[in-house]
């Protein structure tokens, strides 16, 4: 026998219709390239998204076709987030921080038929085309020049064309991993996976998004769908403040103050820059009390959490990746530990936390699941309804276990509270004299030193130990620090053999398009280090 | 093409495994019939639930079989909530407040094979059996006498029997409507509907349940699964405080104080009793600040919300019914109205609010969807993944529209914020001289008068007007009030023809098993009223 419940698919039109019907007047604010702000509403964004969907259908876009975006975070990108899937098509958010060759490869691999591009990104678009990408049509938001206008495309949409009836297993969007090795690999999200991710991400112990929030997604909409935030915001009816292309700390802080932002989301680099400005100009920006700052993408140093607490801002640690939609874990202090001492609480908040509902997570090494002893390390395996089961084209099937878990490539320990702590990427572990050293742990400790702004630790070939750690350190403005001081600082926290043998002081550390340290480049630079 | 996402069903084992793995030490507190408290944990409850599932399997219970409970709210009932569905069976929570004949009818209609019953309810069980109910086995929690012991049944469970692999469309539980007319009708929830309901109910703008909460479900576990709270609590890892059979206000208030309850849920009658005790002994109970009190089941008078604010407790209005799993709407003040005056805010909080995600709601009359003018009334229609599409056996198919909405039988208006306000049940509307009068609106206004504890308004046959309203009023202790005063009180708020022609002052108002006014009985009592 079967239940008496209605058979209703989990499809994006539920969120679109909800925002349009119940939150019509909630504001969507966008920062434009000239730094001006424009304001629209959910009613208008969704009406335009539906218009886009009809226009795409009229243009011959069929179920499963790929439509790409090359855009910053703003209202038109939100229209594409809804309009493309409502047409039955698949939104492919191209990462504008990648090399044009790589963007071209990804667009061709996905088979993108139409591209929607910001006028300010046309120079990049030209390079992508020069690198071999071909699109049937290119729609330009803003000054379109000799190209086709996005606005004209919308205006020409038929007024009455029916949108396709969606199934929950239909494809909704596709993203490519910006891996540091090998070609980028694609995953494809379904309507079902996206909607379940949206529900779980909004929960109080996840990101806790409500209709009363004003959300600033600093994380780009071309990075794993801005962590799902555009869909979460529309579902709960939160105001959204899009920063456009202006991601410098003063521009962001100004937006946070004037638009009464209550929650923001971005990678550690962004927050380090914001912290530095707040330190330099305490009290200058009148922010809402207790703004929550979601940090993900890479591990946030504990010191950063402490620093923001001083400024009345709360950093909340989350973890995930392209293959996980992305939210896998969120760090929320267990209720039982609210009375614990600061050291315990900060240490827990700097961990990546516990899995959200419907995510099964285990940390495994060659002996099986690691004990919750906070000592034994293993690789994080993960399973759930918004975790990818493969890459497009079936590349590297060895990333999945026989029992259906995704091998994340992240190394972690787990403590008695069930909190995971990422210590490294498997590829970044340093093997010294037969023992493993976790580079990220050293980095986050170094970033707790008052003179250090950023630090990256890599393994460099060594004649005797196979590899030894080398630390590349960026000091804060006006700070002086010698290697011996950092060596002593680390020696009190780690086994002696973990302490880097070499410290180099540099201006900047190379980063990937996702804001992570580009360790391949660092390793190339220092490969011939003379020990 | 299909997405690359994992194909993972939404089944209850996800919640069970999550509570066991990530919240093992969180407390489950139960008040026993002798008023003592017992304490257990999620780890133990889920381990015992799995044992129950294995024991049921070994006892021949197969997928889709019905296993009934006749129990108060306590840890063993929570075990049944998980253990029965994990066995692939369907939990049928019998409503102990119904007449034994009705319980017997419902148990036989559902085909319940096994019954789990509290020892203190054995006298009721005997009556149910005398009324014709038959069960293959009866398991008694507590002093089992000549019956079979629930504990012994659990102990005899095989240690290793595999539990069935669940599909998300599998049946999970069944409930019967306690309608005031006709035979009770059953609906059957699926694993999918229950899990989606659980996710949405936990969200910040719904009930907002987190791991940091201590939850007191006063609403019985035999009423629409205690509004889904047991599953929500286990998913987020909240502490649960079960009141057992002691539902008098002092017992509840004592539990709220000693167990640091942060959120409670129940029908208006419960909160009216609690309000009266708080009014009589202000400051006596040391409650956590800002306890959230979820109220549902019937409309809460605005005055009650004001009264609780005075005591530092926040009443939150939700709406739903057996056929809707139950959560359909929740009343959360729109962010834009936080600066509004008290009158506006209280009026909005006393409405039933806006639909939660994935619930499509419309208010319809003979002219179609009503405008958002807060004047035009219609029936609430509702659709969504946890709304029933039929009754078991296909009874009264006219309750569903051709386009797949459930006709709730509730009459409502809708305002410019999209907030619905229930004004009556269709069956309770009073037709006077060709015009409709909404009885619940009159009742809630009367309950705003300082002398009135409770009020029910019914239509009584009238020779000239067809029907005229009569108000049955329970005064607060020590209060004196004459009909004329109430007449004047209402005349300032409603059209003149709405004001009841008769006021009768009574000791109590008869109630249904769900705590709602039993208007059929009132109408019988006053049917021959001499106008």
| Distance of alpha carbon B103 from alpha carbon A499, whole angstroms | 72
**What's the pLDDT tens digit per position in B50-96?**
999 999 999 999 999 999 999 999 999 999 999 999 999 999 999 99
CB contact under 8 A, A188 and B235: no
Strand order of the β-sheet with B360-365 is B368-369, B360-365, B378-383, B406-414, B420-425
| Segment A493-497 long-range contacts (CB within 8 Å, at least 24 positions apart) | A493/A445, A494/A441, A494/A442, A494/A445, A497/A432, A497/A433, A497/A435, A497/A437
DSSP type of residue A400: B
| Mutation for A interface: B1, B2, B4, most A CBs within 10 A | B4
**pLDDT attached to residue A180:** 57
Q: Residues B451, B457, B459, CA angle at the centre, nearest 5°?
A: 155
Share of chain A above pLDDT 70, in %: 99
Q: What is the mean pLDDT of residues A257-264?
A: 98
Q: What is the mean pLDDT of residues A123-146?
A: 98
CB contact under 8 A, B4 and A390: yes
Give contacts of A3 with chain B, Cβ < 8 Å: 169-172, 188-190, 193
Ranges of H-type helices in B350-474? 439-446
CB contact under 8 A, A2 and B354: no
* Residue B18 to chain A, least CA–CA distance (Å): 7
What phi and psi values does residue B170 have, to the nearest 5 degrees?
-60, 150
| Distance of alpha carbon B78 from alpha carbon B29, whole angstroms | 11
* Residue A210 to chain B, least CA–CA distance (Å): 6
Q: What is the mean pLDDT of residues A111-121?
A: 98
Render the burial of B263-274: b for 16+ CB within 10 Å, e for the rest. Answer: bbbbbbbbbbbb
CB contact under 8 A, B21 and A418: yes
What is the number of CB-based contacts under 8 A between chain A and chain B?
Answer: 180
Q: What is the mean pLDDT of residues B404-411?
A: 96
**pLDDT attached to residue B435:** 86
Q: What is the mean pLDDT of residues A188-210?
A: 98
* Residue B189 to chain A, least CA–CA distance (Å): 6
List beta partners, residue A458: A470
Only one residue has tokens 């305002």, namely B415
- Give which of A204, A194, A205, A516 is closest to A330, Cα–Cα: A205
Confidence bin at B524 (pLDDT 50/70/90): very high
Q: Tell me which residue in A2, A172, A189 faces B171 most closely, judged by beta carbons.
A: A2
Is the pLDDT confidence value at B304 over 70?
A: yes
Only one residue has tokens 């927050």, namely A271
Mean pLDDT taken over chain B = 95
DSSP type of residue B452: E
Which residue on chain A is closest to B27 by alpha carbon? A336
CB contact under 8 A, B8 and A192: no
Q: What is the mean pLDDT of residues B246-274?
A: 96
Q: Could you tell me if B388 lies within 8 Å of chain A, comparing CB atoms? A: yes
Are the C-beta atoms of residues A24 and A237 closer than 8 Å to each other?
no
Annotated catalytic residue: which of B134, B431, B485, B488? B431
Annotated catalytic, A168? no
Share of chain A above pLDDT 90, in %: 88
Q: What is the mean pLDDT of residues B144-171?
A: 96
**What's the pLDDT tens digit per position in A156-168?**
999 999 999 999 9
CA dihedral B424, B426, B427, B430 (to 10 degrees): 70
* Residue B207 to chain A, least CA–CA distance (Å): 10
Q: What is the mean pLDDT of residues A214-238?
A: 97
**pLDDT attached to residue A434:** 83
CB contact under 8 A, B387 and A5: yes
CB contact under 8 A, A338 and B188: no
B419: preceding bond cis by omega (within 30 degrees): no
Q: Could you tell me if B1 lies within 8 Å of chain A, comparing CB atoms? A: yes
| Distance of alpha carbon A84 from alpha carbon A194, whole angstroms | 14
**pLDDT attached to residue A240:** 98
Give contacts of A336 with chain B, Cβ < 8 Å: 25
| Distance of alpha carbon B104 from alpha carbon B98, whole angstroms | 10
Is the pLDDT confidence value at A284 over 80?
A: yes
Annotated catalytic residue: which of A151, A436, A516, A529? A436
| Mutation for B interface: A1, A2, A6, most B CBs within 10 A | A6
SS3 category, B164? coil
CATH architecture of the domain B429-525 equals 2-Layer Sandwich (3.30)
**What's the pLDDT tens digit per position in B496-505?**
999 999 999 9
Is the pLDDT confidence value at A110 over 60?
A: yes
CA distances B150 to B51, B55, B71, Å, are: 11, 10, 13
Tokens read off for B300 = 């809460």
- CB contact set of B111 (below 8 Å; sequence gap of 6+): B66
Q: How far is CA B161 from the centre of its chain?
A: 35
**What's the pLDDT tens digit per position in B367-395?**
999 999 999 999 999 999 999 999 999 99
* Residue B386 to chain A, least CA–CA distance (Å): 6
How many helices (H) and strands (E) are present in chain A, helices listed first? 16, 26
CA distances B292 to A398, A427, B209, B252, B273, Å, are: 49, 48, 10, 14, 16
Q: Tell me which residue in A186, A357, A387 faces B6 most closely, judged by beta carbons.
A: A387
Only one residue has tokens 């051709």, namely B402
Give contacts of A348 with chain B, Cβ < 8 Å: none
Q: What is the mean pLDDT of residues A396-420?
A: 95
CB contact under 8 A, A3 and B202: no
- CB contact set of A376 (below 8 Å; sequence gap of 6+): A365, A370, A413
CA dihedral B433, B439, B445, B450 (to 10 degrees): 110
| Distance of alpha carbon B506 from alpha carbon A375, whole angstroms | 69
Give contacts of B408 with chain A, Cβ < 8 Å: none
| Distance of alpha carbon A25 from alpha carbon A237, whole angstroms | 10
Share of chain B above pLDDT 70, in %: 99
**How many other CB atoms sit within 10 Å of the CB of residue B370?**
19
Share of chain B above pLDDT 90, in %: 88
CB contact under 8 A, B391 and A4: yes
Q: Tell me which residue in A6, A17, A188 faces B389 most closely, judged by beta carbons.
A: A6
| Distance of alpha carbon A138 from alpha carbon A149, whole angstroms | 8
Is the pLDDT confidence value at A214 over 90?
A: yes
Give contacts of B235 with chain A, Cβ < 8 Å: 357
Annotated catalytic residue: which of A79, A302, A323, A379? A323
| Distance of alpha carbon B210 from alpha carbon B203, whole angstroms | 9
**What's the pLDDT tens digit per position in A313-359?**
999 999 999 999 999 999 999 988 989 999 999 999 999 999 999 99
Which residue on chain B is closest to A356 by alpha carbon? B236
**What's the pLDDT tens digit per position in A66-96?**
999 999 999 999 999 999 999 999 999 999 9
Annotated catalytic residue: which of B76, B79, B259, B323? B323
CB contact under 8 A, A21 and B418: yes
**What's the pLDDT tens digit per position in B437-495?**
999 999 999 999 999 999 999 999 998 999 999 999 999 988 888 899 999 999 999 99
CA distances B336 to A18, A25, A214, B525, Å, are: 18, 10, 12, 47
**What's the pLDDT tens digit per position in B97-142?**
999 999 999 999 999 999 999 999 999 999 999 999 999 999 999 9
Q: Could you tell me if A326 lies within 8 Å of chain B, comparing CB atoms? A: no
CB contact under 8 A, B236 and A332: no
Q: Could you tell me if A8 lies within 8 Å of chain B, comparing CB atoms? A: yes
Is the pLDDT confidence value at A16 over 80?
A: yes
CA distances A17 to A47, B360, B368, Å, are: 10, 9, 19
* Residue A214 to chain B, least CA–CA distance (Å): 10
- Give which of A352, A514, A396 is closest to A388, Cα–Cα: A396
Give contacts of A210 with chain B, Cβ < 8 Å: 203-205, 332
Q: Could you tell me if B387 lies within 8 Å of chain A, comparing CB atoms? A: yes
Q: What's the CATH fold of domain A13-247?
A: Rossmann fold (3.40.50)
**pLDDT attached to residue A419:** 95
Which residue on chain B is closest to A362 by alpha carbon? B21
* Residue A236 to chain B, least CA–CA distance (Å): 8
Q: Could you tell me if B204 lies within 8 Å of chain A, comparing CB atoms? A: yes
**pLDDT attached to residue B142:** 97
- Report the greatest alpha carbon distance in chain A: 74
Confidence bin at A480 (pLDDT 50/70/90): confident
Higher pLDDT, A110 or A425: A110
**pLDDT attached to residue A331:** 96
Q: Could you tell me if A337 lies within 8 Å of chain B, comparing CB atoms? A: no
| Distance of alpha carbon A124 from alpha carbon A108, whole angstroms | 16
Higher pLDDT, B433 or B254: B254
**What's the pLDDT tens digit per position in A59-68?**
999 999 999 9
Annotated catalytic, B177? yes
**pLDDT attached to residue A179:** 61
Q: Could you tell me if A390 lies within 8 Å of chain B, comparing CB atoms? A: yes
CB contact under 8 A, A4 and B199: no
**pLDDT attached to residue B1:** 58
Q: Tell me which residue in A2, A172, A211 faces B332 most closely, judged by beta carbons.
A: A211
Is the pLDDT confidence value at B299 over 90?
A: no
Q: Could you tell me if B512 lies within 8 Å of chain A, comparing CB atoms? A: no
Q: What is the mean pLDDT of residues A517-529?
A: 92
CB contact under 8 A, B22 and A418: yes
| Distance of alpha carbon A137 from alpha carbon B506, whole angstroms | 76
% helix, strand, coil for chain A, step of 5: 35, 25, 40
CB contact under 8 A, A3 and B169: yes
| Distance of alpha carbon B98 from alpha carbon B175, whole angstroms | 13
**pLDDT attached to residue B515:** 78
Residues 146-185 of chain A with CB under 8 A from chain B are 169-172
Annotated catalytic, B323? yes
Q: What is the mean pLDDT of residues A123-129?
A: 98
Confidence bin at A181 (pLDDT 50/70/90): low
Tell how strand A378-383 and strand B37-41 pair up: unpaired
Q: Could you tell me if B25 lies within 8 Å of chain A, comparing CB atoms? A: yes
Dump strand ranges (E) for A25-164.
Answer: 27-31, 37-41, 66-70, 90-93, 112-118, 137-141, 148-149
Is the pLDDT confidence value at A294 over 60?
A: yes
Annotated catalytic, A177? yes
Render the burial of B390-409: b for 16+ CB within 10 Å, e for the rest. Answer: bbbeeeeeebbeeeebbbbb
Mean pLDDT taken over chain A = 95
Q: Tell me which residue in A6, A334, A418 faces B387 most closely, judged by beta carbons.
A: A6
Residue A384 — left, alpha, or beta (φ > 0 → left; ψ -120 to 50 → alpha)? left
**Kind and range of the H or E element at B74?**
none
DSSP type of residue A371: P
| Residue spans in chain A of domains classed CATH 3.40.50.12780 | 13-247
């Amino acid at each position: 026998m079967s239940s008496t419940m209605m058979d209703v698919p989990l499809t994006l039109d539920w969120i679109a219709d909800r925002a349009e019907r119940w939150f019509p007047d909630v504001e969507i604010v966008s920062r434009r390239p000239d730094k001006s702000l424009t304001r629209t509403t959910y009613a208008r964004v969704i009406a335009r998204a539906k218009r886009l969907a009809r226009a795409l259908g009229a243009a011959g876009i069929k179920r499963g076709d790929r439509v790409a975006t090359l855009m910053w975070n703003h209202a038109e990108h939100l229209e594409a987030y809804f309009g493309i899937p409502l047409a039955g098509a698949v939104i492919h958010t191209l990462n504008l921080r990648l090399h044009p060759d790589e963007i071209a490869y990804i667009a061709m691999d996905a088979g993108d038929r139409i591209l929607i591009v910001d006028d300010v990104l046309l120079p990049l678009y030209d390079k992508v085309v020069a690198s071999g990408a071909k699109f049937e049509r290119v729609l330009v938001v803003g000054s379109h020049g000799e190209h086709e206008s996005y606005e004209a495309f919308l205006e020409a949409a038929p007024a009455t064309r029916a949108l396709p009836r969606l199934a929950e297993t239909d494809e909704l969007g596709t993203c490519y991993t910006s891996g540091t090795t090998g070609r980028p690999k694609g995953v494809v999200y379904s309507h079902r996976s996206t909607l379940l991710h949206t529900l779980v991400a909004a929960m109080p112990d996840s990101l806790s998004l409500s209709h009363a929030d004003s959300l600033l997604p600093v994380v780009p909409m071309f990075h794993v769908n801005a962590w799902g935030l555009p869909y979460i915001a529309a579902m709960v009816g939160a105001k959204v403040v899009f920063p456009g292309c202006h991601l410098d700390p003063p521009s962001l802080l100004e937006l946070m103050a004037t638009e009464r932002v209550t929650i923001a989301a971005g990678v550690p680099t962004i927050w380090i820059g914001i912290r530095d400005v707040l330190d330099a100009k305490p009290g200058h920006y009148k922010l809402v009390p207790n703004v929550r700052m979601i940090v993900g993408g890479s591990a946030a140093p504990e010191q950063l959490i402490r620093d923001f607490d001083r400024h009345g801002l709360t950093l909340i640690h989350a973890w995930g990746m392209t293959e996980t939609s992305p939210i896998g874990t969120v760090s929320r202090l267990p209720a039982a530990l609210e009375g614990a001492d600061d050291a315990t609480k900060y240490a827990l908040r700097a961990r990546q936390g516990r899995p959200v509902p419907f995510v099964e997570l285990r940390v495994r090494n060659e002996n099986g699941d690691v004990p919750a002893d906070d000592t034994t390390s293993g690789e994080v395996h993960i399973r759930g309804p918004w975790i990818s089961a493969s890459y497009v084209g079936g590349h590297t099937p060895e990333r999945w276990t026989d029992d259906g878990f995704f091998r994340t490539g992240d190394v972690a320990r787990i403590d008695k509270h069930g909190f995971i702590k990422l210590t490294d990427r498997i590829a970044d572990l340093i093997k010294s004299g037969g023992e493993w050293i976790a580079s990220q742990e050293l980095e986050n400790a170094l970033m707790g030193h008052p003179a250090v702004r950023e630090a990256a630790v890599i393994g460099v070939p060594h004649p005797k130990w196979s590899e030894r750690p080398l630390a590349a350190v960026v000091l804060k403005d006006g700070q002086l620090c010698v290697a011996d001081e950092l060596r002593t600082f680390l020696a009190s926290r780690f086994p002696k053999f973990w302490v880097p043998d070499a410290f180099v002081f540099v201006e900047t550390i190379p980063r990937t398009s996702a804001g992570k340290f580009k360790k391949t480049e660092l390793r190339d630079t220092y490969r011939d280090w003379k020990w």
